[in-house]
């Protein structure tokens, strides 16, 4: 089963860009793959996300549904295995890979944002998510930004069309400790996205 329109060389170039950029993207999925994954979300047990996470100035406001439970037979598990192979082949192109090989994604989430919903305000992923963070929009339309702080200052939009791969730098990318603030807004068509991370606490 084929999945990817992107070559390992193109993904390697995007990974390398994270040394200078908080996030970078490129087209990833071919159309049949995107359609298969989108169709598979219809069988997922979504639940609402907590409307507010954190307190006071650190509060993150969010409005979407999510699923984090996938049986071994899930299409998303098979896809993750194929994606790990692509990432490993891509890292092989780099003289000094910024993350250890093989890099494993052991945390999967599918998020569903309905048209007109808030999305999620500026936040950073948990510090336990290491190395590379991958967000793969499957369908719909929304805008993805990285920014300087929780107030959303110095926001920069990262192209995140359906079928693309958005990569962000996590702690331990090339020995670094920082991780970017980012947010999602302007959901004009129901957005489905797959998030893949390496959770060091469950490795």
Mean pLDDT by runs of 10 across the 203 residues of the chain is 91 97 97 96 96 91 96 95 98 96 97 97 96 98 97 96 97 95 97 97 77
Reduce the secondary structure of the chain to three states and give it as a string: CCCECCCHHHHHHHHHHCCCCCEEEEECECHHHHHHHHHHHHHCCCEECCCEECCHHHCEEEECEEECCCCCCCHHHHHHHHHHHHHHHHHCCCCCCCCCCCCCCCEEEEEEECCCCCEEEEECCCCCECCEEEEEEEEEEEEEEEECCCCCCCCEEECCCCCEEEEEECCCHHHCCCCCEEEEEEEEEEEEEEEEECEHHHC
**pLDDT at res. 203:** 60
**pLDDT at res. 57:** 83
CA 160, CA 138: separation in Å to the nearest integer? 10
**pLDDT at res. 1:** 62
pTM of the model: 0.96
**8 Å CB contact between 105 and 134:** yes
**pLDDT at res. 109:** 98
Question: Could you give the domains of the chain?
Answer: 8-202 (2.60.120.330)
**pLDDT at res. 202:** 84
**8 Å CB contact between 23 and 169:** yes
**pLDDT at res. 136:** 98
């Amino acid at each position: 089963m084929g999945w990817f329109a992107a070559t390992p060389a193109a993904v390697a170039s995007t990974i390398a860009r994270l040394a200078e950029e908080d996030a970078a993207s490129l087209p990833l999925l071919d159309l049949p793959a995107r359609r298969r994954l989108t169709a598979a979300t219809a069988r997922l047990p979504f639940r609402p996300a907590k409307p507010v996470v954190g307190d006071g100035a650190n509060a993150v406001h969010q409005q979407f549904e999510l699923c984090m439970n996938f049986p071994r037979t899930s299409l998303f598990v098979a896809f993750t295995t194929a994606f790990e192979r692509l990432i490993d082949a891509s890292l092989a192109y780099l003289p000094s890979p910024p993350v250890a090989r093989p890099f494993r994604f052991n945390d999967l989430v599918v998020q569903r944002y309905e048209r007109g919903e808030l999305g999620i305000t500026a936040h950073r992923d948990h510090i336990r998510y290491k190395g590379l963070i991958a967000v793969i929009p499957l369908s719909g339309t929304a805008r993805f930004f990285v920014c300087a702080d929780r107030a959303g200052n110095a926001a920069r939009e990262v192209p995140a069309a359906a079928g693309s791969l958005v990569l962000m730098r996590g702690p331990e990318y090339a020995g670094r400790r920082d991780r970017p603030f980012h947010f999602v807004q302007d959901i004009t068509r129901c957005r489905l996205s797959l998030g893949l991370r390496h959770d060091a606490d469950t490795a």
